[in-house]
Structure 1
Amino acid sequence: MNLYELKMSLKTVGDQLAKIAGDIVAKAGDPNIPIGDVQSLKDQKSELQERFNILKTQHDEMEAGIKDDLEKNKIKNIAGGNQDPKAKKVAAKAEMVRATMQNRTLSDEAKAILGDRNNTGGEKLLPKTVSDELLFEPFVKNPLRDVSTFTNETNLEVPKITFTLSDDDFIADTETAKEMKVDGDNVVFGRFKFKVFVPISETILKGSDTNLVETVDQALESGLAAKEKKVAFAATPKAGEEHMSFYSTQNAIKVVNGATKLQAIRKAIADLHEDYRDNAKVMMAYADYSEMIESLAAGNTTFYDAPPERVLGKPVIFSDSASDPIVGDFRYSHFNYDIEMLKDRDKDVKTGIELFVLTAWIDHRIKLKSAFRIAKVVPQV
């Protein structure tokens, strides 16, 4: 029996079940009808209900199987065809989300497209590769994405400096030499778990692949960016995550004071060793920069038109999370996402909306603290 025939049989039995339920009510309310007739109808209803349940179970299983086959065939056709690579990725991501929400297995074709290093498919959702494939702009951005190092590896361990010489006195910066002597030559990354929750309505889930992927990608990218900024700029880091923040006392990045913001930043740039100064950038809040320009301009509009690099002598990256300007070579700021990533579903009991849940593990290490300075304003007495 095919799906169409099952639907027709299900409708026939369902109609009969509804009719006999009405007959039972009518005859039970008529005292002139023998109770034996009512009992006979109840027996017929029980038999019809059992038939209906058997047909319904078979119908639902067959329909789910057909939908699953259609989804897998769509991915298989895309994977084997000549479609645009972005279209392949969108279809695979859409299948991954639907498979998670429906609690079913992701097809091998979709796993292959999304990446299968963790045997679940989907590590390419993480920022190492996803940022070049977005269909839209995320709500929240992390400016460190453009300047820091990002990797996606398990048990990552990297050297602080990527070359050595036979003479171990080759490091000209004494601060760096002292730091490496105290902390060692390598940086070992840990695993710090967090979750991103993405609400998905039934309409979005059943809609087009593009809309579904856009919704999930945007929320994931925003969630990841928010987490990255939170750990990197935390004034009071969460216990166990102190090493991730530029401002933590554990990292104790050198603070350079100045009477004004401009003076503090320029002194911080000058205080860097030349090995780091050449590639240094300034991370600061836009409000701080605007206030600095107001003070410098004093009615002279040329300062408003000047690019920030000309004003400070180094490229400027704006982030409102930077409570005090951070000056340094941001290549030594390194985010690593563990390859393991869990995808699950949940439900917001307050709204009833289904949630796509991503569990990921992150770590942020400042590989060389001597490559950075924090510029702080200390008014002159």
Structure 2
Amino acid sequence: MNRYQLEQMKDGVKEQLKIENENLAKMYLDSKTTIETRQEQQKIVKDLDERFEGIKNQIKEIDDKEAKEMALKNKNKNLGNSEKDIRINAKAELIRNVMAGKAATKEVRNVLGDGASLNDGDKILPRTVANELLYEPMAKNPLRGISEMTNITNLEIPKIIFSLDDDDFLDSDSATAKELEADGASVTFGRNKFKVFCDITETVLKGTNTNLVQVVDAGLESGLAKKEKKVVFESTNPTDMSFYNKSGESGNPYLIKTIEGSDMYEAIINALADLEDDYSENANIVMKKADYFNMIRTLANGNTTLYTAQPEQILGAPVVFCDLAKIPVIGDFRYSHFNYDLEMFYDRAKDVKTGIESFVLTAYFDHKIKMKSAFRLAVVKSVTP
């Protein structure tokens, strides 16, 4: 069992432990409960507590093992002369030059992959640095693990990822065929400009190269990921980049088809069942962790087994947690596509009130839902009083 699965199991046991502790506290307040029932509840709490600690220890063992392997790797290499260290030093010099208002040297650009063709005054972020920001794993935007990700100027692609010599194979009544007929068979990506500000204190700027690069990289990665996640799940003022974009039609509030159920579980199962076969085979469920555990609490009805089961075993498709997914999105996320257009530019800015300076990144990106018919929104049916 890998670390991710253990973390999911730990969260499930933690939630159940919280519930059983609350039940035990209520028993102490209830004069009708007996010593036997309280002792039985104490055993349940003790069992869950032991499970929680056991899973925590397993995760710690994995982390300790990885830490030892990393320490051994660092010990065995000539620090400061490795390719990684040379790149860190070059990135640190680039950052310090930007914050001092100086141009990056050709030597730094050479190390970071730009070559010597660019002018010294150019503020384009070196290509390899930009690629690291875009393609390195980011926990803060969970869609990065399941959606498409590219960095291509003026990108235009076909909506469906397969083609035949004719389209007669498509059922004319299917949602896919109707969408292709209505909206065309290709999608063109636009350019939406935004800035990311990474605050840098003087102590960090004057500190070690490794720490400076880590602070800036983490700040920029977090900013990019938060922006991506925000526009994709924007519900108040959604754009065509959002899964929650509105249709403006009465009785059909969203452009993506909504599927109802009497509760969250039924809505998700119904949404999975409603997907066409080509989409359901690769379907994922993106939902809030709080909604998932509320659903499990209802399904479990006192049974702790569901809390330790993998979400895929319960719902029939992998689950990806996202705190902004107010309505669960179910579908084939290969048809969710992020594209960064043009080059990324860097600059600096200063907050005159606080004196804190920022490393500023300007980027252009777009998110397209290539096929709306590849997705469903799982909505709990409102009960009429």
Q: Helix, strand or coil for the counterpart of 1:341?
A: strand
1:151 aligns with 2:155: no
Query: 1:160: Cα distance to partner?
Result: 1.1
Can you list the C-alpha shifts for 1:11-56, whole angstroms capped at 9, x where unaligned? xxxxxxxxxxxxxxxxxxxxxxxxxxxxxxxxxxxxxxxxxxxxxx
Query: 1:198: Cα distance to partner?
Result: 1.1
Query: 1:87: Cα distance to partner?
Result: 2.0
Q: Tell me which of 244, 249, 272 is aligned to 2:246.
A: 249
TM-score normalised according to structure 1 size: 0.72
Which position in structure 2 is the counterpart of 1:130?
Answer: 133
Does the 8 Å contact 1:256/1:268 carry over to 2? yes
Q: Tell me which of 376, 379, 385 is aligned to 1:376.
A: 379
Q: Looking at both structures, which has the greater relative contact order when contacts are Cα pairs under 8 Å and sequence separation is at least 6?
A: 2
**Structure 1's 346 and 82: CA in aligned 2 closer, same or farther, altered over 3 A?**
closer
1:103 aligns with 2:109: no
Does the 8 Å contact 1:143/1:318 carry over to 2? yes
Which position in structure 2 is the counterpart of 1:333?
Answer: 336
Aligned CA-pair RMSD: 2.3
**Structure 1's 183 and 147: CA in aligned 2 closer, same or farther, altered over 3 A?**
same
Which position in structure 2 is the counterpart of 1:215?
Answer: 215
Query: 1:99: Cα distance to partner?
Result: 1.8
Q: Helix, strand or coil for the counterpart of 1:293?
A: helix
Does the 8 Å contact 2:244/2:256 carry over to 1? yes
Q: Helix, strand or coil for the counterpart of 1:130?
A: helix
> Hey, what's the Cα distance between the residues in 1 that align with 2:135 and 2:226?
18
Query: 1:131: Cα distance to partner?
Result: 6.3
1:347 aligns with 2:350: yes
Moved more, 287-296 or 152-161: 152-161
> Hey, what's the Cα distance between the residues in 2 that align with 1:179 and 1:151?
24
> Hey, what's the Cα distance between the residues in 2 that align with 1:125 and 1:365?
24
Instruction: Tell me the percent identity.
Output: 53
Query: 1:84: Cα distance to partner?
Result: 3.2
> Hey, what's the Cα distance between the residues in 2 that align with 1:306 and 1:215?
37
> Hey, what's the Cα distance between the residues in 1 that align with 2:143 and 2:135?
15
Does the 8 Å contact 2:125/2:343 carry over to 1? no
Q: Helix, strand or coil for the counterpart of 1:345?
A: strand
Instruction: Name structure 1 gaps, 5 residues minimum.
Output: 1-80
Give runs of aligned pairs for residues 169-180 of structure 1, distance below 5 A. 169-172=168-171, 174-180=174-180
Q: Which amino acid aligns with 2:101?
A: N
Can you list the C-alpha shifts for 1:200-257, whole angstroms capped at 9, x where unaligned? 122211221101101101110111111001100000236xxx1100001157000001
Which position in structure 2 is the counterpart of 1:90?
Answer: 88
Which position in structure 2 is the counterpart of 1:229?
Answer: 229
**Structure 1's 312 and 232: CA in aligned 2 closer, same or farther, altered over 3 A?**
same
Task: Figure out how many residues of one structure are paired with residues of the other and give that number.
Answer: 293
Which position in structure 1 is the counterpart of 2:293?
Answer: 290
Does the 8 Å contact 2:125/2:346 carry over to 1? no
Instruction: Name structure 2 gaps, 5 residues minimum.
Output: 1-78, 119-123, 248-253
Query: 1:167: Cα distance to partner?
Result: 2.0
Can you list the C-alpha shifts for 1:134-188, whole angstroms capped at 9, x where unaligned? 8xxx7x7010111111111211111112331112222347211111111111111
Q: Helix, strand or coil for the counterpart of 1:265?
A: helix
